[in-house]
Amino acid sequence: MSRARGFPEDGELVVCTVKSVKNFGAFVTLDEYDDKEGFVHVRDVATGWVKYIRDFIREGQKIVCKVLGVDSSKGHIDLSLKSVNEHQKREKVQQWKNEKKAEKLLEIVAERMKISVDNAYTKFGNKILEEYDTLYAAFETVAASPDELRGDFKGDWVEVFIEVAAENVTPPYVQIDGVLELRSYAPDGIDIIKEAVKKGVDAAGDADITVQYIGAPRYRVVIIADEYKDAEDVMKKVSAAAIGHIAAAGGEGSLKR
């Protein structure tokens, strides 16, 4: 986590730097927790019998450990290296790298606003962490959906944050939207329009779609997909199904982008 100040929780995965290696275990510092010291007992270095501990761990090495126990009153943190598999290690290291990058991006935001990084955390950084859990998740989400930040937060920093996110982060997905205008002049026109919207949603299949009523006769359609082409294909299916149904019932429909 960014700018962590307390102690990790039992079971948490943490990135560590090995400081010294003894025959009975290794002393490490926790990179995400102000370099607090932890200890990996030799029995927790690797599965099976460890004859030479330096075959598995060495000074200066970056490792990912699982927290076995924390005694905050004494400052003791017991860790296990053998409890972390390769997949968990890769995921944790990537998360750590992402968060380091996000901290640099926040520094850019602070610089553009001409305030200190500490002031940036006080003003909005800590609130962002409460909302998004990690700083990188915030930048990643905002890069894909800037309106989400505008809706959740207010302040002169919002547009700067969005600008930095757009310049430096490639979103893990794409989001497109359009407005469906559906009109029916039949006595049961409301039911026909509702059914047209349902037909459109059904046409999306398993795709990530949201339809929001924004005032007669308009419905905002939001599609999220891994690729832009996929999102556009879904939008075409949704609009075709909805407009086709409304037209067949004597109404009118269109999609505006």
Instruction: Output the pLDDT for position 168.
Output: 96
Bond from prior residue into 217 cis (ω within 30 degrees of 0): yes
Residue 8 lies in a domain: no
In terms of pTM, does the model score above 0.85?
no
Q: Does the pLDDT value for residue 85 go beyond 50?
A: yes
Q: Does the pLDDT value for residue 4 go beyond 60?
A: no
Confidence band of 144 (pLDDT split at 50, 70, 90)? confident
CA-based Rg of the chain, rounded to a whole angstrom?
26
Instruction: Output the pLDDT for position 133.
Output: 83
The most confident of the ranges 91-100, 148-157, 237-246 is 237-246
Sign of CA dihedral 162, 163, 167, 173: positive
Bigger pLDDT: 226 or 149? 149
- 169-190: pLDDT as tens digits: 987 777 888 999 999 999 999 9
To the nearest 10°, report the CA torsion of 233, 234, 237, 242: -140
Instruction: Output the pLDDT for position 1.
Output: 44
Domain span holding position 158: 87-168
Instruction: Output the pLDDT for position 3.
Output: 57
Residue 7 lies in a domain: no
Domain limit, last residue, from 147, 168, 189 = 168
Q: Does the pLDDT value for residue 145 go beyond 90?
A: no
The residue-averaged pLDDT of 185-203 equals: 95
- 220-237: pLDDT as tens digits: 999 999 888 899 999 999
The residue-averaged pLDDT of 208-219 equals: 90
Does 98 share its domain with 158? yes
| CATH number for the domain harbouring residue 114 | 1.10.150.190
φ, ψ (nearest 5 deg) of residue 230: -60, -40
| Lowest pLDDT segment from 45-54, 72-81, 165-174 | 165-174
Contact 140, 172 (CB under 8 A): yes
The total number of structural domains in the chain stands at: 3
Residue 4 lies in a domain: no
Bigger pLDDT: 164 or 214? 164
Residue 187 lies in a domain: yes
Q: Does the pLDDT value for residue 155 go beyond 60?
A: yes
| CATH number for the domain harbouring residue 245 | 3.30.70.1130
Q: To 10 degrees, what angle do helices 157-168 and 135-144 make?
A: 80
Domain limit, last residue, from 132, 149, 168 = 168
